[in-house]
């Protein structure tokens, strides 16, 4: 992006485990926290070139893997999320599209949390 002398967007896929500690997920959480910090540092380094760097702090999302791991995933996580529902892949896609859009040209070094408010209180469902 620098060599092309054009602006650009870098968006990392992080997790709410990089924000809130969850027992049993220390290594995973550390790597996601590192991505959040890397977004901040790279935002400072690449900002002068018109490149923004952000991260998505993704929470409980209903997908095939999570459904396979826990057939009651949607109900378990929906009960502990302030919005009353688990996230959908489209929730993440819309946030990603926003950060990649011209409307987000002045947003950099941030982590956009996509968790339906879960990190406000961070309760774990009984199955965790």
- Please list the active-site residues: 28
DSSP at 24: T
Residues 6+ apart with CB under 8 A from 93: none
Q: Identify which of 101, 1, 3 has the alpha carbon closest to the alpha carbon of residue 54.
A: 101
Left, alpha or beta for 123 (phi > 0: left; psi -120 to 50: alpha)? beta
Query: CA-CA distance, 10 to 24, in Å (whole number)?
Result: 29
Q: Which residue has the tokens 């070094």?
A: 109
Under 8 Å between Cβ of 115 and 49: no
């Amino acid at each position: 992006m620098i060599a092309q002398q054009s602006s650009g967007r870098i968006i990392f896929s992080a997790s709410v485990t990089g924000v809130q500690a969850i027992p049993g997920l220390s290594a995973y959480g550390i790597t996601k926290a590192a991505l959040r910090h890397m977004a901040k540092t790279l935002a400072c380094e690449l900002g002068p070139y018109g490149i923004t760097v952000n991260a998505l702090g993704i929470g409980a999302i209903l997908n095939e893997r999570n459904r396979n791991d826990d057939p009651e995933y949607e109900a378990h996580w929906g009960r502990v999320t302030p919005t009353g529902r688990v996230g959908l892949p489209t929730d993440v896609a819309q946030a990603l599209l926003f950060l990649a859009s011209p409307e987000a040209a002045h947003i950099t070094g941030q982590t956009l949390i996509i968790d339906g408010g879960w990190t406000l209180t961070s309760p774990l469902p009984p199955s965790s």
